[in-house]
Structure 1
């Protein structure tokens, strides 16, 4: 069965289509009623045709979709792919550790109930990600992103999910309002998890970045029934080894982020069979900038490096490290006769 993505950069979306697996709305205002969004990510859209209007992602299947609910988890699946959207409206945004643990516990319980054992991709939006809060375990103040990482890894371990080698692709961005937001793609087959030779794997970061390392792979590759593969690139920033580079220079950080995505894509291509390859110009990008004023400079770099063909959406968000100004994620299908070494 196929899994397909369209976005608001590709024309109208038939939100009432019975093959809809997940509709994600990114915007500071609520989604249009006609969209029937499954997830609302409270981030302001930038550099869109209608500034701030929002960005819609519309994931569909070519098979019959079933919808079930398990507690706070709404699951939509076609027998091969399952999207899980977590209702976190009642979560205490002030206690990110508890909200994260409850969200992931609910996610893993739903995956078990529906027999989708493998996480492919997770999206996390953490209010005030770089702020500190009191840590109940240590009795000291700790950055909320570090508390999120600890709670996420504890949930992975409790569910016996891979939190190092084999962990899903993921991102964690900071929102300025709302509750913790989590949604995920699961499958009945394991993804091919991809790492970046330019970077230490996130799950091996040294202890200076917090008591528990981030539990994600740099990318994940999944085959579709259409005979090709989908590449999910995790949120990618200006990090080489484990260190942030180019502080204060958003253009240089964007260039470094794209070098990292290119390296990940090359690693993914090395795992491909046949002639189909991933290509930077055929991916779709979501780009998160810390400051709205930087969006034009980031877009200029991306268009210079990628050309005019790729769809790029820009959103205002905090990046997981305070010194990082931009983060980029991508998704796309392999195509025959394309790709870069």
Structure 2
């Protein structure tokens, strides 16, 4: 069984470790290995190198190809595939609904053809996500296209959705980053929040389909992917226009999701025999999306008080206009004997 490792760096790869994929925040990532996307969002802090990489203990094979509306690049092993799609919207010729549907269909067909039936995590970077197109917000059009594509692929999507996020970028390229596997994850919901599948129509005729997190069993422990999380309780946004209280509410949601993941580890010890049974917030890797740059210091202060230090802060539009902040995270559950992996 292959082992997936989340790491901020590829500088000290252990023997038999390779880069499967990831995202770079500061510059084009110089490596012949894997599939790396340069994230199209401005950094809110000055650092020379910020990456979120997914390492693997099997040499991946990388491919790049074009389709009628864009390009797709991916790296795969026997058990995992990481890739991204970049596509331009034909302004004036089609709606974002059509663009997102086509892009998602390309991704899902690829996973089906290559036999990776379980989507673990998707990152969506949607240009000008809060603007209107015709009479409809672009985020809602994106959700319609995504749902139509999901409906077309029940072999992969069977009412179990991957962890995901959708953030607004500032150029004209729709970017969809994905991680899939032959291995079925645990799909995690948050008891403080309504499942996104059941959001009422006030948020659009198609709900934003995702799980709050996915947990992937591994020989050396487990990998956790927490979706973009905001100040939402039930289905309602909380603390409009108050960045600090939104940050505190978001932390409550993140703590609850992490507690759910820790419970799954403890309750399924036969499957997770080699995993430590709990993680705390300061052991995760974080990406913090902030709508307004002037809120950076306030958010960082709140998160540092909570012990969150392994964090990247970037500017992005959030999927609801009243929300000022969204946070995502990932983590490795390791065996006590796996310190060399932990420090990769």
TM-score bracket, shorter-length normalisation: 0.7 to 0.9
- Seen in structure 2, the aligned counterparts of structure 1 residues 96 and 191 have a Cα distance that, compared at 3 Å, is same
Corresponding residue number in structure 2 for 1:85: 84
Determine if the alignment matches structure 1 residue 232 to structure 2 residue 230. no
Correspondence 1:319-338 to 2 at 5 A: 319-335=318-334
Q: Is the 8 A contact 1:93 1:180 kept in 2?
A: no
Corresponding residue number in structure 2 for 1:2: 3
Q: Is the 8 A contact 1:163 1:203 kept in 2?
A: no
Q: In structure 2, list runs of 5 or more residues that go unmatched.
A: 270-275, 337-344
User: Counterpart of 2:140 in 1: which secondary structure?
Assistant: helix
User: Counterpart of 2:302 in 1: which secondary structure?
Assistant: helix
Determine if the alignment matches structure 1 residue 197 to structure 2 residue 191. yes
Determine if the alignment matches structure 1 residue 159 to structure 2 residue 158. no
Determine if the alignment matches structure 1 residue 271 to structure 2 residue 264. yes
Corresponding residue number in structure 2 for 1:138: none
Cα distance between partner residues in 1 of 2:230 and 2:105: 28
How far is the alpha carbon of 1:38 from its aligned partner? 2.7
Q: Is the 8 A contact 1:194 1:267 kept in 2?
A: yes
Corresponding residue number in structure 2 for 1:45: 43
Corresponding residue number in structure 2 for 1:32: 28
TM-score for the superposition, normalised by structure 1: 0.87
How far is the alpha carbon of 1:87 from its aligned partner? 3.2
Determine if the alignment matches structure 1 residue 146 to structure 2 residue 140. yes
How far is the alpha carbon of 1:177 from its aligned partner? 1.3
Cα distance between partner residues in 2 of 1:266 and 1:67: 36
Corresponding residue number in structure 2 for 1:64: 59
Q: Is the 8 A contact 1:276 1:336 kept in 2?
A: no
1:218 to 212, 231, 239: 212
Determine if the alignment matches structure 1 residue 184 to structure 2 residue 178. yes
TM-score for the superposition, normalised by structure 2: 0.86
Summarize deviations over 1:44-101 as a string: whole Å, max 9, x none: 0112335xxx63222221112112345433221121111021132x443673212211
Cα distance between partner residues in 2 of 1:321 and 1:271: 31
Q: Is the 8 A contact 1:70 1:110 kept in 2?
A: no
- Seen in structure 2, the aligned counterparts of structure 1 residues 64 and 144 have a Cα distance that, compared at 3 Å, is same
1:244 to 230, 237, 242: 237
How far is the alpha carbon of 1:112 from its aligned partner? 1.3
Corresponding residue number in structure 2 for 1:261: 254
Determine if the alignment matches structure 1 residue 206 to structure 2 residue 200. yes
Corresponding residue number in structure 2 for 1:294: 295
Q: Is the 8 A contact 1:130 1:322 kept in 2?
A: yes
User: Counterpart of 2:184 in 1: which secondary structure?
Assistant: coil
- Seen in structure 2, the aligned counterparts of structure 1 residues 25 and 82 have a Cα distance that, compared at 3 Å, is same
Summarize deviations over 1:112-131 as a string: whole Å, max 9, x none: 12110110000000011000
Cα distance between partner residues in 1 of 2:12 and 2:178: 21
- Seen in structure 2, the aligned counterparts of structure 1 residues 318 and 62 have a Cα distance that, compared at 3 Å, is same
Q: Is the 8 A contact 1:93 1:99 kept in 2?
A: no
- Seen in structure 2, the aligned counterparts of structure 1 residues 113 and 146 have a Cα distance that, compared at 3 Å, is same
Summarize deviations over 1:293-338 as a string: whole Å, max 9, x none: 101100000010125xx4011000000000000000000022569x
